[in-house]
Structure 1
Amino acid sequence: MKVGYIRVSTTEQNTERQKAIMEGLGVERLYTDMLSGKNTDRPQLNALLDFVREGDIVVVESYSRLARSTKDLLDLVEKLNQKKVQFISQKENIDTSTPQGRLMFTMFAGLAQFERECLLQRQREGIEIAKQQGKYKGRPKKSLDNFTELYVSVKNEEISVSKASKLLGVSRSTFYRKMKEHEDSSEIDFG
């Protein structure tokens, strides 16, 4: 059975292009994750790995959809090999059922990792230069103008932390951190 895997990094990204490729390749079952490739604990990828059996073929549009690091990619393909499952990456024209395909797979994975690390290195270097020139101030801070009002509403159980964080445009963990900072700064030491 041909089993396809699609991944996009965010829910705002579209999966249609990858779905069309999977349909054209005759994929019979499809698994889709909308999470960063950095996260190796992806529900649909785990479901795919549980589902596939000996003789199945896992198909991806590009191996970058499966993993973002060479180590993770090689580990995932090794899991498939142990189950005697073939891996095909359409974009790179890689088929691990052949010795040439396995060699090309390893080379491409190493090159992709190298390219990503070079990109991150150039980014760090550019940020460092911009900081030295006073041009880089980091990511802009979110405006938390109505935090206190929302904090009170959360404490009075009028709204949830999820709702408050959405209204502020921050993650729940950021809201919790701000709550703790607010509570810590509000404590008065009568020592």
Structure 2
Amino acid sequence: MKIGYARVSTVDQNLHLQKDALESAGCEKIIVDTISGSVLLRPGLEKVKEQLREGDSLVVWRLDRLGRSLKDLISWSGYLEEKGIGLVSLQESIDTSSSTGKLVFHMFGALAEFERNLIRERTMAGLQAARSRGKMGGRPKALTKDKQKLLIQLYKDQSISVKQICQMMNISKPTLYKYVKNVIVS
């Protein structure tokens, strides 16, 4: 049996392309995740693991849908090989049921990781260059200095609830606690 696995990182992204390709490849089941590939425990992937049996094939649209690092991909490949399950990646035309497919799989995985590392290095170099020119990256603060002081005062007074403070300031609880923590640390 061919079981397809599709993944997008955010709810805003669309699964149609992946699902259509997996259906065209003859997948009888398609299991989906809407979660970052960097998250190791993905519910859909766990469900795939439960359903795959010896002689089955796990089919993905691209290798990066299965894993974000070479280590992760090799781990999956080893697990599947140990269980007698094939891995098929449609975009890279890889089928690990053959020796050539296994070789190509490892080469593509290494190249994908190399590309991610290059992107990370370029991003870090760009941020460093911007900082050297006096530009600060990152998300702007949710509250002005005056609102931050008011938030801390309201929090310390305990006259109104944390929920009410958050509603008043239009911020989330984690953001409130981040501001409180920054005051305690400094």
TM-score bracket for the superposition, by shorter chain length: 0.7 to 0.9
Show CA shifts across 1:94-132 (max 9, x none): 000000000000001001111110111111111111211
* 1:49–1:80 CA contact under 8 A, matched in 2: no
Q: Percent identity?
A: 36
Alignment of 1:101-120 (within 5 A): 101-120=101-120
**Counterpart position of 1:123:** 123
Residue 140 of structure 1 deviates from its aligned partner by: 2.6
Structure 2 gap ranges (5+): none
1:177 aligns with 2:182: no
Show CA shifts across 1:83-103 (max 9, x none): 111000000000000000000
How many pairs were matched up?
178
Residue 142 of structure 1 deviates from its aligned partner by: 3.6
- Rounded Cα–Cα distance in structure 2 between residues aligned with 1:27 and 1:178: 49
Q: Which amino acid aligns with 2:177?
A: Y
- Rounded Cα–Cα distance in structure 1 between residues aligned with 2:164 and 2:92: 47
**Counterpart position of 2:66:** 66
Structure 1 consecutive aligned stretches of length 4 or more whose deviation exceeds 2 Å: 144-153, 172-182
Residue 54 of structure 1 deviates from its aligned partner by: 0.3
- Rounded Cα–Cα distance in structure 2 between residues aligned with 1:19 and 1:31: 9
Change (3 A) 1:127 1:181: closer
- Rounded Cα–Cα distance in structure 2 between residues aligned with 1:65 and 1:19: 12
Residue 29 of structure 1 deviates from its aligned partner by: 1.0
* 1:74–1:106 CA contact under 8 A, matched in 2: yes
- Rounded Cα–Cα distance in structure 1 between residues aligned with 2:50 and 2:174: 31
- Rounded Cα–Cα distance in structure 1 between residues aligned with 2:127 and 2:42: 31
- Rounded Cα–Cα distance in structure 1 between residues aligned with 2:74 and 2:41: 15
- Rounded Cα–Cα distance in structure 2 between residues aligned with 1:80 and 1:175: 45
- Normalised to the residue count of structure 1, the TM-score between the two structures is 0.81
Show CA shifts across 1:144-185 (max 9, x none): 3677399699x637x499x85xx42x5x54343234446x49
**Counterpart position of 2:161:** 156
- Normalised to the residue count of structure 2, the TM-score between the two structures is 0.83
- Rounded Cα–Cα distance in structure 2 between residues aligned with 1:50 and 1:160: 44
**Counterpart position of 1:141:** 140
Q: Partner of 1:19: helix, strand, or coil?
A: helix
Show CA shifts across 1:16-42 (max 9, x none): 111111111111111111111111111
**Counterpart position of 1:18:** 18
Q: Which amino acid aligns with 1:129?
A: A
Change (3 A) 1:118 1:181: closer
**Counterpart position of 1:46:** 46
Q: Partner of 1:50: helix, strand, or coil?
A: helix
* RMSD of aligned alpha carbons: 2.8
Q: Which amino acid aligns with 2:179?
A: K
- Rounded Cα–Cα distance in structure 1 between residues aligned with 2:164 and 2:96: 49
Q: Partner of 1:125: helix, strand, or coil?
A: helix
